[in-house]
Amino acid sequence: MHFVHQITSSDQYLKDYAASIENPALFWENVANEFTWRRKWDTVVDWDFDGPNVQWFKGGKLNITENCLDRHLQTGGNDIALVWESNEPTELNKTYTFKTLHEEVCTFAQVLRNYGVNKGDRVCLYMGMVPELTIAVLACARIGAIHSVIFGGFSAQSIADRVIDAQACLIVTCDVAFRGVKEIPLKSVIDEAMLQCNSVKQVIVCRRTHNSTIINTPSEIGWHEAMSKIDRAAAILQKAEVMESEDPLFILYTSGSTGKPKGVVHSCGGYMIWTHYTFVNAFQYQPGWLHFCTADIGWITGHSYSIYGPLLAGASTLQFEGIPNYPSSNRLWEIIEKYQVAILYTAPTAIRSLMADKHSLVDDYPMASLKVLGTVGEPINEEAWRWYHEHVGKGRCEIVDTWWQTETGGILITNLAGITPAKPSFATLPLPGIEPLLVDENGLELFGNNVSGNLCIRKPWPGIIRTTWGDHERCKQTYFSTYPGLYFTGDGALRDELGNYRITGRVDDVLNISGHRIGTAEIENAINMHPGVIESAVVGYPHDIKGQGIYAFVIYPGIDKDHAQLAVQIKATVIHFIGPIAKPDKIQIVTGLPKTRSGKIMRRILRKIAEGEPNALGDTTTLLDPSVVDDIISGHVF
């Protein structure tokens, strides 16, 4: 496949960038013409950020899976679409060509239809990293059902919150998921969640083991049993649902600074164009390359760059069930050699943990097939960048530092591999269509170079969030109200003398733990569910591997209670209500929190204490009771 809109020189980058800003409609119309549409659009873009109301390719009709699969059947039907590597290196891998993946997707789409799932219905997927997850995602898109993938590390309560919010009618899960030495009992977690979820009419359980006791009620069926009842030849002939460009494609829940996670909604047409365009440009994908994104499909990176982006481009995507350090910290290098991977896309956390592992024999693996290395999810420190470049890329692979968010659908700021220059720890320059700007707290634009501020984007791009599920006002408040007329990212950034952007991290109460976003309010709510806890405050602190660690200050009366034991219980409570990713690394039981006279917790002070800088607290005179601070500083941490 030839990509008409692949940028092939730095000159072209400058030209395309200028053209995209000057006349966005013309620019994106040309890109959109590369795809299969059932009907072309009436208007390329229609928007205002006050609504917000953003519509791309209005009047256009399409099905994204026809672009991911059917479009490649004539020329590349026997090309590899998906390679699956098990958690266990000894277990046989699985491969799907575009033709066989198409068949599986059409067959599972028919299963969903037979269970009465219609266009617009919500389907939740709570599965491990098995090929059936990708098949289920695409099958939903095939029939126009809105998929909502829930990361396999979330607890029953988190699942219930998401299923209820989306009013999902069907769930697809697995009996268990394998991750390293862990076996996660997904189906029993679903059983517990289902006690609260009345909207769900059917549960489909994909067996990862040979255990036969997972089907408990008539509203549950095994994946393979359901698939075996379908007439495959007929299923393949069934037409894909024709979607409006602006129909929702999926919901993905993500944490914010307040309340429960919100369902970020992406639409069919714009997301398709954005994931494809960014995939071929950022990574400079070339036909025949194998793309390996290590992200779990439960996160946006997995959606955009393990499934949609690569398949839209006709690329082969490698999905790995396990984790980088199982059974040893050479696992990624083994996989790269085994399959001759060309693009490796991973997170700084993984890079730092492999770098820190003295047993990793990275230098023994030539990995000659590698061409491009990507990083995403959190700022990458220069040391990790250099290690990635020298030891994994052997000094000859380009590194792309890609900055984006669940809400942006795909990459917004990155260097283009081998086309525009990389700069360690900088995401560098915006992609065509993206107009970043920095503002101060009052929303005043900061001009010039070598300035730092809050990162905003001026105009919509095709992949931008459309709404938050069931609560449009929340979308407006979270992203479009802080600085009226602008999309606010929640990140701080610095711009250097060449216009390169360096993302410095969140400026709101959102933590980034191992590249996973989690709001402090959400963790506090979970901690407060522990009986006896009066109040808590959670802050982040620098963590060598995870980027940030979670530090919780908890008010718990009854000073004689064993604090070490209490900390263990509080951690268990957080795991129960959210999942292991939100488990505090450090807990300190305190008698009070530093509050202003108006009752606001001064997190700045707690952050300094958590960072181990109790002498740099700054002004504490506005505190209601400054002595609280001394007590905290002299307290014990568990």
Interacting residues with ligand PRX (CB under 6 A) = 254, 300-301, 376-379, 401-406, 427, 489-491, 503, 505-506, 512, 517
498/572 with CB nearer ligand PRX: 498
400/567 with CB nearer ligand PRX: 400
28/488 with CB nearer ligand PRX: 488
Residue 353 Cβ, how far from ligand PRX at the closest point, in Å? 17
Cα separation of 23 and 21, whole Å? 6
72/162 with CB nearer ligand PRX: 162
Q: In what helix (H) or strand (E) does residue 565 lie, and over which residues does it extend?
A: helix 563-577
Cα separation of 496 and 510, whole Å? 25
What is the maximum span of the chain, computed from C-alpha positions, in angstroms? Answer: 75
Cα separation of 490 and 456, whole Å? 8
Residue with tokens 């718990």: 556
Contact 66, 300 (CB under 8 A): no
165/508 with CB nearer ligand PRX: 508
Residue with tokens 């389907």: 123
3-state DSSP of 3-54: CCCCCCCHHHHHHHHHHHHHCHHHHHHHHHCCCCCCECCCEEEEEECCCCEE
List, edge to edge, every strand of the sheet that includes 343-346. 94-97, 80-85, 316-320, 290-293, 343-346, 372-376, 398-402
Q: Report the interhelical angle of 627-634 vs 603-610 (nearest 10°).
A: 20
**Structure-derived torsion over alpha carbons of residues 207, 213, 216, 219, reported in degrees to the nearest 10:** 20
Residue 377 Cβ, how far from ligand PRX at the closest point, in Å? 5
82/300 with CB nearer ligand PRX: 300
Cα separation of 459 and 602, whole Å? 34
Residue 266 Cβ, how far from ligand PRX at the closest point, in Å? 12
| Cβ-Cβ contacts under 8 Å for 233 (sequence gap 6 or more) | none
Residue 463 Cβ, how far from ligand PRX at the closest point, in Å? 12
Alpha helices per DSSP H over 51-97:
64-65, 71-76
169/503 with CB nearer ligand PRX: 503
Residue 414 Cβ, how far from ligand PRX at the closest point, in Å? 8
Residue 307 Cβ, how far from ligand PRX at the closest point, in Å? 14
35/426 with CB nearer ligand PRX: 426
Cα separation of 372 and 388, whole Å? 11
Residue 380 Cβ, how far from ligand PRX at the closest point, in Å? 7
80/427 with CB nearer ligand PRX: 427
Helix (H, G, I), strand (E, B) or coil at 517: strand
Contact 126, 88 (CB under 8 A): no
106's tokens = 């059409």
Residue 317 Cβ, how far from ligand PRX at the closest point, in Å? 17
245/304 with CB nearer ligand PRX: 304
368's tokens = 């000659």
511/632 with CB nearer ligand PRX: 511
Residue 298 Cβ, how far from ligand PRX at the closest point, in Å? 11
Closest CA to 281 of 46, 465, 13: 13
129/197 with CB nearer ligand PRX: 129
Residue 264 Cβ, how far from ligand PRX at the closest point, in Å? 8
67/301 with CB nearer ligand PRX: 301
Residue 582 Cβ, how far from ligand PRX at the closest point, in Å? 14
Residue 438 Cβ, how far from ligand PRX at the closest point, in Å? 15
Helix (H, G, I), strand (E, B) or coil at 535: strand
Residue 379 Cβ, how far from ligand PRX at the closest point, in Å? 4
223/488 with CB nearer ligand PRX: 488
Burial (CB count <10 Å: 0-12, 13-18, 19+), residue 361: exposed
Residue 125 Cβ, how far from ligand PRX at the closest point, in Å? 18
Cα separation of 600 and 593, whole Å? 10
Cα separation of 379 and 503, whole Å? 6
Residue 119 Cβ, how far from ligand PRX at the closest point, in Å? 27
Residue 29: HSE in the Cβ half-sphere, 13 Å Cα cutoff: 13
Residue 621's alpha-carbon distances to 36, 596, 617, 624, in angstroms, are 64, 9, 11, 8
60/379 with CB nearer ligand PRX: 379
The percent helix, strand, coil of the chain (3-state, each to 5) is 35, 25, 40
Cα separation of 304 and 189, whole Å? 27
Cα separation of 619 and 450, whole Å? 28
Cβ-closest residue to ligand PRX? Answer: 406
